[in-house]
Structure 1
Amino acid sequence: MAHLVPNGVNVKPETPPRLWPGDIYQSLKKVDVRQVAYVPDAGHTQLIINCQTDADMTAVSLTTEEEGVALLAGAWLGGQRGVLLMQSSGVGNCINMLSVPLHCRMPLLMIVTMRGEWGEFNPWQLPMGQNTERVLRDMGVYIQRADHAEEVGSVTYAAAQLAFSSNCAVAVLLSQRLLGFKDWSK
């Protein structure tokens, strides 16, 4: 039996909790992230809830990912650090907007849950999932990848340090293996 969590995602109670979303949250706190832009995503559920319930963070639900690039540019101009949470399929929506932080030398920290990789069931996720890293690199974004739960916190912290100290765009790609296998055959 599933239940509904605050952002409307169904979660099975018998699913063991993931610890790495808490590691990301703690890394964001360490670098004083105050603005969290996100498109609702099951892979980011716990992280989104953590940010929504933190009085020092403003979590903003977006209708499309590129809005987050503009929101975080405004946050930076206003003196606050932010992060954009999205799925790999949303990276394609951001391509034109990535010119803003790149040409204005503003930091942009993105945390991307990958789709179209290990155990993907949805063929619509394959094209962007297989090309996310290349597309971001071609746009001048620095890539950090986390494939194992125990490295997620340190990879996120290092990526945030790079973005905010160098005023550059950095994406942390969270492997689909971290999210778990979705078996829709049953």
Structure 2
Amino acid sequence: MSSTEMQVPAWQQEIFQVLKEGGVKQVAYVPDAGHSHVIRSVIADPEIDDVVLTTEEEGVAVVSGAWLGGQRAVLLMQSSGVGNCVNMFSLLSSCRFPFFTLVTMRGEYAEFNPWQGPMGKQTQAALELMGITVLRADDPEQVGELVSAGFDAAFEAGERVAVLLSQSLIGRKKWERK
């Protein structure tokens, strides 16, 4: 195990393990530090295609198209991106596609950027309003089980599920001055 792998929290490794063992073939994302371990792991895995998005709502279409093509796909996004997706979420319920997303939260614990606050406070409500079941991980010990349970609900039961990864779980973000 390299020194980089040893520094990665176990819960982040568990997320990638759930995706890999669950047969995910595509991961769509807008780059985000909170998802960086999963993104790096996906890029390094020749069996999983990484799909870099310009905006999160494209990801709803990407994962839906993957399902139509016989593949499992997951959308990684930050809470601020949920607001960009609300209209596209109607595709999921209209077509009854399974859907699984992992959302890193902003606008809560020790947030320094006031721009992140409004959507961070409404992320769960916006997802639920669009018929998406929300699970929330606040403790590192919860992550693996919640991600696995949400993944199974999506791909075994055909549900639409979001797992919110709390800002306290991810850690404080600070502006860096150089």
Give the TM-score, by structure 2 length.
Answer: 0.92
Q: Which of 57-66 and 143-152 deviates more? A: 143-152
TM-superposed deviation, 1:166 = 2.1
TM-superposed deviation, 1:60 = 0.5
Question: Counterpart of 1:166 in 2: which secondary structure?
Answer: coil
Moved over 3 A (4+): 183-186
Unaligned runs of at least 5 residues, structure 2: none
Unaligned runs of at least 5 residues, structure 1: 1-12
Equivalent residue for 1:108, pick from 95, 99, 108: 99
TM-superposed deviation, 1:184 = 4.1
Partners of 1:43 and 1:160 lie apart in 2 by 19
Where in structure 2 are the equivalents of 1:1-186 lying within 5 Å? 16-184=7-175
Contact 1:102–1:168 under 8 Å retained in 2:
no
Cα RMSD, aligned residues only? 1.4
* 1:94-123 Cα deviation digits (max 9, x unpaired): 000001111111111000000001100000
Question: Counterpart of 1:46 in 2: which secondary structure?
Answer: helix
TM-superposed deviation, 1:149 = 1.0
TM-superposed deviation, 1:18 = 2.4
* 1:60-104 Cα deviation digits (max 9, x unpaired): 100000000001111000000010000000000000000111111
Amino acid at match of 2:8: P
Amino acid at match of 1:33: V
Partners of 1:182 and 1:38 lie apart in 2 by 20
Contact 1:101–1:168 under 8 Å retained in 2:
no
Partners of 1:125 and 1:65 lie apart in 2 by 16
Partners of 2:174 and 2:34 lie apart in 1 by 15
Identity across the alignment (%): 54
Amino acid at match of 1:27: V
Amino acid at match of 2:31: P
